[in-house]
A and B are shown apart, each in its own frame.
Chain A
Amino acid sequence: MPTTPPPPAHPGELHLAVALDGTGWHPASWREPVSRPQDLFTARYWADLVTEAEHGLLDLVTFEDGLGQQSSRFGEPDGRTDQVRGRLDAVLIASRVAPLTQHIGLVPTVVATHTEPFHISKAIATLDHVSGGRAGLRVQITPRPHEAAHFGRRTFPPITLESLRSPAGQERISELFDEAADHTEVVRRLWDSWEDDAEIRDVATGRFIDRGKLHYIDFEGRFFSVKGPSITPRPPQGQPIVSALAHQTVPYRLVARQADIGYVTPRDAADARAIVTEIRAEQRAAGRADQPLHVFGDLVVLLDDDPDRATARKERLDTLDGAEYTSDARIFTGTAAQLADLLEELATGGLTGFRLRPAVLGHDLPRITRDLVPELQRRGRFRRSYEGGTLRGHLGLARPANRYATAATV
């Protein structure tokens, strides 16, 4: 069976997301005059960013999160005081801005390693209820020992990027991703644990619900078991959007097994094609060949009218930070038209959209919404208005049938 990306509502159109993190992805971004580092912990700050993204008709924004302070080192705190430290819970930020926006998808990061899938399921279902069908989540794992120490239930050995590449490291990562896959499976089953028409309010019999339309999920896995049903009725989208960032085979497998969107980090179109091919193969292996799955490319972006200015801006930020900024994703510096060229080229590798990480939110986010979006629209590669009412609608994904309802009628 062929695996295909979801058919776009308008062929040729790309999907666009923006990843929100602090004042932007460059560690020195907070020092730019357009940044508002003192406002990072206010609702107004986040509302302004999401409203700007919505003006650009973007499909969704993601909110970064973690269960510990940010660090420039991978596996431990760095003790630095010259970068943004501290952040608010991403699900609560998403919920706080939901009533202030109407169209844009809201996708907070959720750490599967230390959280309860029961809590996460009802939180994201509720985000879907409060936003009228615009919720999703980005599932993430953490192998970091200092974050495990915040919970005190498990001890993780010290970790570096090198040690992760060792066979033992790979085994640990595989296990955390397997746990994340189970976590997501539970979250998804709980979303289906109420059929859409379970609330009947039958005055004659005095029954508020038809309990035959509520289902125990009875999940029994290697890491935990969960009974169900959810306490929260099925969300408006049926299944909110599940997404994950992936850099190699193990996480590609999580994307293939559980996600609606995978964010990947290709260097060029050939790399994109190789990644997409691998994910599609994993998708077939997981028996999900017929399920639509978006693969978005992640890029860090610095946008200016003049490419030299964008490069100079990066250099200036690097100097401020005292180190050259590197990233898991390709870092683009240039004009909006050049970025549009690059996105079109990368898309030939089979990507259906992009998640852009603005280096400086106060500067690069408006460049995305006011320069890049019109440029893509001119090329017929981006929507001119929101059409669907839900995030699934923006992504060209149908509302899925309830697995339990289907099982009951077959």
Chain B
Amino acid sequence: MSKPHKQIHLAAHFPGVNNTTVWSDPAAGSHIDFSSFAHFARTAERAKFDFLFLAEGLRLREQGGKIYDLDVVGRPDTFTVLAALAAVTDRLGLTGTINSTFNEPYEVARQFASLDHLSAGRSAWNVVTSWDAFTGENFRRGGFLPQHERYSRAEEFLATANELFDSWHGDEIVADPVTGTFLRDATAGAFVHQGQHFDIHGQFDVPRSPQGRPVIFQAGDSEEGREFAASGADAIFSRYATLAEGRSFYQDVKGRLAKYGRRRDQLLILPAATFVLGDTDAEAEELAREVRRQQVSGATALKHLEFVWNRDLSAYDPDGPLPDLDPDTGGDHIARGRAQVRMYRDPLATAREWRELAAANGWSIRDLVINTGNRQTFVGAPATVARTLDEFVQTDACDGFILVPHITPGGLDPFADKVVPLLQEKGVFRADYEGTTLRDHLGLAHPDHAREERVAS
């Protein structure tokens, strides 16, 4: 008997501050108005996606001491948008990134538990950590953390939040008007947590929510990040959207689960993926090239080069050759508030490599950035894209995808209309929701049942 088809998980990311949205496209709408989020969420729900995902930003990015102005700038508050989206959708999961550095566990736990109640069991938390003093300037606690404390704070933050979620068991509210008993037990919500980062106690004030705990997502690719995800996350956002890298990451992370007493299906691996669709593969390729040109203007190309060179390059011609001078390695000072800077750990080597690439291919600065930057993950006719997505999932490069369209809010519509039906025909994607909560969609056990299973085994 052949192995049954793995089911693909699909989610949609409404991009906030980013360098992929083609805001200059006449079809691009507001990235702030609620109508944009409502449109996007309804499309995702119409396509039976597992969830919608919103990221977070806590300080506007700067380059050369000035607010970066070339990409989409500005976004609404994650919790507030997700709560409002719960009113215009019925089944779609609602996932938000919330930082563990600039928040307190009591407040975040009551927000996620509230969102879970208000969405009837559809909330999810992407736990991230940030440590820079630049972002900390917006917060009363400052919030600078040495890098080695990032995960220890994040881990303790999540553990503490879980203690708060678990401080109500779900049967405390009696609300019997005849006997006058509202609570079965005066200690509902009692908790004590003493640790390196948090020393708190008292009574949590939100009763147990429909999912027990929100679904926990995690992003991050370091050794600590992978371990953190394996130990407690329900899903991990990966950045490996090629087959070989994806399979390697998948094997590595899934292999870490056993030592935490978890099964391989208790952690889903979902890479972020962009896409460009055309009527034919050739048309899609052509369109993808156009999109890349729109995403990387001459000014954007120079700014991107500055991440490596760590110098003001505004005097250079983006259509000319790469700078002869070497990067300034005296600390990150040109670009702040963005992750890309940290990706180039050896700027001198990167600069050398890029110069060689440009010389070999006859590339200008802009050509180089276009050709080395993040490219669209899936480009082709709907049938091609459907086949490729399925291949990734069936061969264990991932369990599904977080799709990021380059047009907001309408960029998801063609995927919903053209690709999803093909996946449904193949029998690898649901034709309708089978459950009501996000845990149902993701095939995750309710935490109470998961706990019982662990105790029993």
> Which positions in A face B, CB cutoff 8 Å?
28, 30-33, 35, 37-38, 41-43, 47, 66-70, 77, 79-89, 91-93, 95-100, 114-119, 122-123, 125-127, 129-130, 132, 146-147, 149-153, 194, 199, 201, 203, 205-211, 214, 223-229, 231-233, 320
By the criterion CB–CB under 8 Å, are B104 and A151 in contact? yes
Chain B residues near A151 (CB-CB < 8 A): 104, 106-107, 200
By the criterion CB–CB under 8 Å, are A38 and B200 in contact? no
By the criterion CB–CB under 8 Å, are A211 and B138 in contact? no
Q: Which of B15-54 contact A (CB under 8 A)?
A: 17, 23-24, 32-34, 38
How many angstroms between the C-alpha atoms of A32 and B223 in the bound complex?
A: 57
The verdict on B202 contacting chain A, using a C-beta distance below 8 Å, is yes
The verdict on B69 contacting chain A, using a C-beta distance below 8 Å, is yes
By the criterion CB–CB under 8 Å, are B183 and A43 in contact? no
Q: Which of B49-90 contact A (CB under 8 A)?
A: 57-60, 66-67, 69-77, 79-81, 83-84, 86-88
How many angstroms between the C-alpha atoms of A149 and B191 in the bound complex?
A: 11
Chain A residues near B7 (CB-CB < 8 A): none
How many angstroms between the C-alpha atoms of A233 and B299 in the bound complex?
A: 24
The verdict on B182 contacting chain A, using a C-beta distance below 8 Å, is yes
Q: In the complex, given contacts A37-B177, A98-B87, A209-B73, what are 4 additional A-B residue pairs having Cβ atoms less than 8 angstroms apart? A: A77-B203, A125-B76, A150-B200, A208-B71
Residue from B24, B32, B86, B202 in contact with A201 in the complex, judged by beta carbons closer than 8 Å: B24
Please tell me which stretch of B109-117, B370-378, B393-401 contacts chain A, meaning at least 4 of its Cβ atoms lie within 8 angstroms of it: B109-117
By the criterion CB–CB under 8 Å, are B202 and A129 in contact? no
Chain B residues near A92 (CB-CB < 8 A): 79-80, 83, 111, 114-115, 118
Chain A residues near B207 (CB-CB < 8 A): 41, 86
By the criterion CB–CB under 8 Å, are B79 and A130 in contact? no
By the criterion CB–CB under 8 Å, are B77 and A122 in contact? yes
Supposing A30-B177, A89-B110 touch, asked if A123 and B202 sit within 8 A by C-beta, the answer is no
By the criterion CB–CB under 8 Å, are B74 and A69 in contact? no
Residue from B57, B72, B77, B84 in contact with A208 in the complex, judged by beta carbons closer than 8 Å: B72
Supposing A81-B181, A129-B32 touch, asked if A99 and B60 sit within 8 A by C-beta, the answer is no
Chain A residues near B181 (CB-CB < 8 A): 81-82
Chain B residues near A66 (CB-CB < 8 A): 205
How many angstroms between the C-alpha atoms of A129 and B113 in the bound complex?
A: 23
**A217 to chain B: closest residue by CB:** B138
By the criterion CB–CB under 8 Å, are B74 and A86 in contact? no
How many angstroms between the C-alpha atoms of A323 and B81 in the bound complex?
A: 42
Interface residues of B, CB < 8 Å — how many? 76
How many angstroms between the C-alpha atoms of A232 and B31 in the bound complex?
A: 11
The minimal Cβ–Cβ distance linking A108 to chain B, given in whole angstroms, is 10
Chain A residues near B70 (CB-CB < 8 A): 206-208
The minimal Cβ–Cβ distance linking A29 to chain B, given in whole angstroms, is 10
By the criterion CB–CB under 8 Å, are B81 and A130 in contact? yes
By the criterion CB–CB under 8 Å, are B80 and A68 in contact? no
Chain B residues near A211 (CB-CB < 8 A): 66-67, 69
Residue from A38, A132, A214, A226 in contact with B175 in the complex, judged by beta carbons closer than 8 Å: A38
By the criterion CB–CB under 8 Å, are B69 and A207 in contact? yes
The verdict on B169 contacting chain A, using a C-beta distance below 8 Å, is no
Supposing A96-B87, A96-B118, A228-B138 touch, asked if A233 and B67 sit within 8 A by C-beta, the answer is no
**A68 to chain B: closest residue by CB:** B205
**B85 to chain A: closest residue by CB:** A99
Chain A residues near B86 (CB-CB < 8 A): 43, 96
By the criterion CB–CB under 8 Å, are A149 and B201 in contact? yes
The verdict on B259 contacting chain A, using a C-beta distance below 8 Å, is no
Q: Which of B115-172 contact A (CB under 8 A)?
A: 115, 117-120, 137-141, 168
How many angstroms between the C-alpha atoms of A225 and B140 in the bound complex?
A: 6
The verdict on B428 contacting chain A, using a C-beta distance below 8 Å, is no
Chain A residues near B106 (CB-CB < 8 A): 67, 150-151
By the criterion CB–CB under 8 Å, are B175 and A232 in contact? no
The minimal Cβ–Cβ distance linking B156 to chain A, given in whole angstroms, is 12
**B179 to chain A: closest residue by CB:** A82
The verdict on B189 contacting chain A, using a C-beta distance below 8 Å, is yes
**B300 to chain A: closest residue by CB:** A206
By the criterion CB–CB under 8 Å, are B103 and A119 in contact? yes
**A69 to chain B: closest residue by CB:** B205
Shortest beta-carbon contacts, A-B, top 9 = A224-B140, A95-B83, A126-B80, A37-B175, A227-B137, A31-B177, A89-B114, A126-B77, A126-B76
How many angstroms between the C-alpha atoms of A30 and B43 in the bound complex?
A: 40
The minimal Cβ–Cβ distance linking B195 to chain A, given in whole angstroms, is 10
How many angstroms between the C-alpha atoms of A158 and B74 in the bound complex?
A: 43
Chain B residues near A199 (CB-CB < 8 A): 73-74
How many angstroms between the C-alpha atoms of A20 and B83 in the bound complex?
A: 18
The minimal Cβ–Cβ distance linking B384 to chain A, given in whole angstroms, is 31
How many angstroms between the C-alpha atoms of A86 and B202 in the bound complex?
A: 13
By the criterion CB–CB under 8 Å, are B69 and A209 in contact? yes
By the criterion CB–CB under 8 Å, are A86 and B138 in contact? no
How many angstroms between the C-alpha atoms of A211 and B102 in the bound complex?
A: 25
How many angstroms between the C-alpha atoms of A224 and B167 in the bound complex?
A: 32
How many angstroms between the C-alpha atoms of A97 and B181 in the bound complex?
A: 29
Chain A residues near B118 (CB-CB < 8 A): 42-43, 88, 92-93, 96
The verdict on B331 contacting chain A, using a C-beta distance below 8 Å, is no
How many angstroms between the C-alpha atoms of A218 and B356 in the bound complex?
A: 44
Chain B residues near A85 (CB-CB < 8 A): 182-183, 188, 205
The 8 A CB mask of B285-301 against A (1 = contact, 0 = none) is 00000000000011110
